[in-house]
Each structure stands twice: as C-alpha cells, then as structure tokens.
A and B are shown apart, each in its own frame.
Chain A
Amino acid sequence: MAQDSTAPSLTLTPGLKAWPVPRWILAWPALAWWIIFFVLPLAWIVLYSFGSKPQATEQGFVSLKSLSLDNYLAATSELFFNVFLGTLQIAGIGTIACALIGLPVAYTLAYYVAPRWRPLLVFLLILPFWTSFLLRTFAWRIILAPQGTLSKTLQSLGILDGPLLVLDTSWAVQLGIVYNYLPVMILPIYVAFERIDPALAKASMDLGAGPIRTFFQVTLPLAAPGLFGGLLLTFILAAGDYVVPTILGGTKGLMVGNLVATQILSAQNLPIGAAMAILLILMLALTVIVGIVLLWAVSRALRTMRGAAL
C-alpha cells in the first residue's frame, strides 16, 4: 500500500484505549522464571568454578577468596577427557539410533495410521513418562541381569554361550539412553510430518517421482525442522544424563554427568564439579555448532550438485 504522509493515521482498535503499559510486560513472568531459575544459577556455577574448596575452618561450600583457573586444569585430566569422549559417543550414537528408529515410527504414525487412532498411539508413546524415570531405568537391570529371563532364554536358544554380560557396561548405558529418549525424538518428527500437506506428495508423484524420491526430495526436507529439533533435544538430554549410567553403567559406563555428580555430591568439591559442568556446556555447544555447520555444508553441496533451476 502506498504511504501518504498527509493521510490520517489509522487507529488499529477503534473504541479501545491504548494499553497503559508496554506490551512486553506480558513476557515478564516467563522472563523472571528464566532469570531466577536458569540465568542466576548458571552465573553462580560460573563463579563457583573459579573458586576453591573451602578450608575446614571456613563456612559454606565454596571459598571465593582467591579466584583462579585451577579447577579447569584439574578438570581437564585424562580421565575427564576420556569420559567426555565416551559421553559424546554414547549421546551421538544414541541420537542417531533414536533417529533411525524414530523416523519410520513417526512416518508410519503420520501417514499410515487413520487420524482417529493417532491420539491413542501418541498417548501410548508418552505413557512410559508417567512412570518414574528411575523405576523405568531400574527395570532394565532386571531384564538385562546375567541370571535373568532374557539371558536364560538367549542361552537356551543357543544364541549365547554364556550368560548375558551387557549389564554394567557402556552397552547397557547406550540401550538405556535410546530407550529413554526415543519419544523425545519421535514426537517433533511426527508433528513435522503431520503438518505437511498430503497433496505435496501427490504432486511429486504426479510429476514423475516414485515414493522414495518423493520422500527424500519433498517429505524429508519439509520435515527437516522437526527432525533437527528432535536430534538437538535428544543429543543434549542424552549427553547430560547421569541417571542411566549410574543405574546401568556400573563402573565401566561412566558419563560426564557422573563425574560432576561425584565431585559435588560425594567429594564435596563443588568448584571442580562446577568447572566440569561449564566445560560440558561449552563442549556440547561446540558439538552442536559443528553439527549445524556440517548440515549446512552438506545441504549447500547438494544444492550445487543439483544445479540451478533456471
């Protein structure tokens, strides 16, 4: 529309008085929550990570008399580095496994299940969340126990020579991670698939693409935001988990979360725990950024390979 400076300005809501306070005031409850329960604690942890363990004569958890980087040096020991790589591996493989399992499930749910059955199936998908996280994870100890039913069944079928020795290894942690975070992956992908107009797949087929090419050229690119959200969410949650490795990992399946928890809860060394937590945050951010750059580069390369349309 052409702008005319002499034209009278339009009142958007005639008959309504202008709001006496700025509209962003509405964002304050959420903002206050975020600042009080996220930003401030995080700032505290950053501060603590530069402090030191209090002497026996001192009060409190942390001594802030002399700030230094000592905790970071202590935290970047070989043990921490190895556990960190292990964490990345478990979270990375877990995320990929969740995506590989979750994609077909979400696709089936969105395209092959009649709309009236979908709410029920989505409900069943999140049903496990109604039980305690701890309890669900603990249940795997019973399933995976070397003397358990699964182990005995596999042995009697001749699949295993000896008892099942998965429990208290990183394999059990891997399994627990996939089990616990699969719904977190499925839901955003399902929502993304469901929002795609079914006519688009028809148009693609009409223009000569078979079902597989249609999936990779139309459906998947359009579901990319949901897939990306699922990957990010699963990866971050999995990398920060310490309940699963504590319950299923024994001494071999340690993750960074365990180290942080040990430092803070057992060793009573809050400053080193804080430094480890900060390192975990930084390294996760770095991993995510590297992932985004990689994805961007791949999509760009594909685009160049395809050539311009005009």
Chain B
Amino acid sequence: MASEVNIVRISKAYGAFKAVDEVSLRIRQGSFVSLLGSSGAGKSTVLRMIGGFELPDTGRVEIGGKDVTQLPPYRRDVNTVFQNYALFPHMSAAENVAYGLRQDRVPAGERRKRVRDALDMVQMLSFAHRRPTELSGGQQQRIALARALVKRPSVLLLDEPLGALDRKLRQQMQIELKLLQAQLGLTFIFVTHDQEEALAMSDQIAIMRDGRIEQLGSPTELYDTPRTAFVASFIGAQNFLNGTRIADTNRLEAEGAQFTAGRVAEGLQPGAKALGAVRPEHVALTRDEPVDQPNRIAGQVAAVVMLGDALEYLIKLEGDRDLISRVQRGRAAGLPNTGEAVWASWDAAHFNLYPHEDLQVQSSRM
C-alpha cells in the first residue's frame, strides 16, 4: 500500500552550513514527486531524512500518518534506490534482490517467488545469477530497483538513480519508471538535478534552492507560471531582459524600449529593477518590423543552430546582448540568414516580470 509522506518544518545544518532550512512538504499517497535542484540545494539531505539516514535538527517526518523521525532506516516502511546502486558485490543479482526478504524472514518458498517476480518485472530474470560486476550500468539499475521494490515498500526513494546512465538509456528508464509507478500505485520520491527528467516523470516538482523549497507545483505550473526568476531559469530555457518596472504598471523599460508583460511576480516593487522573461519558443522572428506587436526588438542573426525538430536562432541585440528564438522547422522558411537583420517579437501573455536577482551567480554556485 502506498502511503502519504508528510514533512513538517525539517532543518539540518552541517556546522554553519544550513543544508535544509525549515522544509515542509506533503506528498500525496501514490504520487510521483521530484525534488529538483542543483548540487548543495538540500534535496538529497531531505531524502536521507525520509529514509532515516540523517536525523533532522528540528521538525518531523511522518509516513502514513506515523511519526518516524527517530526511527532507524531498518524500521521504516521505505526503500531506497541509491545513486550508484550500492549493489552487494559479493552476491548475485538474485541474492541482492532476496536480501531484504531474508531480513524480514520471509519463508523460502514465498521469498523465491517474490524474487522471481521482481526480477521478471524489471526484465532481468535471465541475469539472475550474474554478479553486479558482470552487469552493465542499466542492468545494475534494474537490479537496484527490483531489490527495493521486492519489499513492497509504501514509499520508494530514488536518489539520482539515472545519473550514471547514458542519455538514450536514461530516457528509456524514465518511461519505464513512470509506467512502473503508475502500475504499482506507489509513492515515489525522486531526487534529480536534471530538469528534463523531473518534467518528464513527475506529478509534482519541488524546486529546491539553498535548503528551501522555492516552488512546488505540477510540471505545467512550473513551466508556465514560475513564481521567481530562479524557477523560470531553472525549468526550461529563458530569455531575460534587464530593466526597470515603470511605476506600478505591468510595463518594463529595457534595451531603450518599453515592453508589456502578462504577469508581474509577487514582490516586485513599483519602479524597481526588474527582469522580463520570455521563453525562446515564444519569440517570433520577422524580416519586417511587426508594428502591431508592442513587444518587439531589432537585432541581427548571429547563428542558427539545428536541433532536429526546431531551429534555434541566436540574435545579437544592440550592446552585444543575446536573445534566443526557437522556431519549428516548418515555419522557418523565408527567415533571415546568419548576418542579416531581424525583428524579434512576443506576446504580452508570454512575458513575465520578476524582481531582479543575480542569476549568473546562482547558476554557477555549487
């Protein structure tokens, strides 16, 4: 049975460094929740506190309505898929999977059946007698998954489990994991620094930054209505215009022009320094000035990058600033070539204003 996980104001500090700072999170029974953030954001620490490997300084962790904050890992109805799988090298794949059932003293007959079923579920039955060192990364990943799932935990914790796999395999495993989760109806808590992975798999994503949850929401909510410039830049690609909010309007003065935004983020003071954000796929390109579009800016095509289904245009604005436009290939006919002048424009509905923050520093921070 799946269980609800309720995290109430947990904090954890290592010396002066606050790894997790008053994080609260309620995870619905049977949902797939990702903790997304760069390294040092505190996401793995939160996971370790749910798993029982780390004791919070303050706050509590409830699983299925029961306070488990003080319980050691072996007394929690939670299993973990570790970052580098942590398979026991002195046991075969099948013995690895059987390990957890042995600890619970599951009778031999039932144990063998469950080990077989778990191996079958991850399509590894034919590799049952191999040692972990004789398996590829993807195969080890499957064994680690089977080993955790064979115990039928109410919550499965996954700590960057796909990080060591190559891109193709990672995408395949994303789909398999998602299907498995839907099929078993388990609560999955997934830690990743890969925003694409989080978008592809999650019901809910908690974006973490400096030990706090910056925003919690569905992938669509986070993509369409990010609450801060940080979230806007972390999820998907984003163009930012540096400027000033005009009085208390929804207008931005930047690059010697005025732009109209569809949304003004909370906390942006009238007349304050602001960031205007528009996603590359919402930036339209034309040869002639689109006079009926208030949000427009002139530039020059510096490069065109082929992405397969789309083309990415790198536009140089005046003052050596960049703007990126993503154009579906079917609509690219007749657009200017490299070196030619171009007009970029976008709808107010896709333009958001945020309080100014130094995103350069944030993204390079470890």
Binding site for B on A (CB under 8 A): 197, 199-200, 202-210, 213, 217-218, 221-222, 306-310
Contact = CB atoms under 8 A, between A and B. Distances in A.
Given A199-B83, A206-B80, A206-B82, 15 more contacts: A200-B88, A203-B86, A203-B87, A204-B88, A206-B51, A206-B52, A207-B74, A207-B99, A208-B100, A209-B103, A222-B90, A309-B92, A310-B116, A310-B119, A310-B128
Given A197-B86, A200-B88, A208-B103, A309 B74 contact: no
Contact of B94 (A206, A217, A309): A309
B103 A202 contact: no
A208 B74 contact: yes
Nearest to B159: A199
Nearest to B76: A206
Q: Is the interface of A mostly helix, strand, loop or mixed?
A: helix
B88 A202 contact: no
Interface residues of B, number: 39
Contact of B73 (A202, A221, A307, A310): A202
A309 B115 contact: yes
Given A207-B151, A222-B90, A309-B98, A202 B108 contact: no
A207 B100 contact: yes
Contact of B103 (A199, A200, A207, A306): A207
Interface of B: 51-53, 72-74, 78-80, 82-84, 86-92, 94-95, 97-100, 102-104, 108, 111-112, 115-116, 119, 128-129, 147-148, 151
A202 B82 CA distance: 9
15 contacts: A199-B83, A199-B86, A200-B86, A200-B88, A203-B86, A203-B88, A206-B53, A206-B82, A207-B103, A207-B151, A208-B104, A209-B103, A210-B74, A310-B98, A310-B129
Given A202-B53, A206-B79, A306 B94 contact: no
A84 B148 CA distance: 54
A218 B88 contact: yes
Contacts of A199: 82-84, 86
B133 to A, nearest CB: 13
Contacts of B148: 206-207
Contacts of B100: 207-208
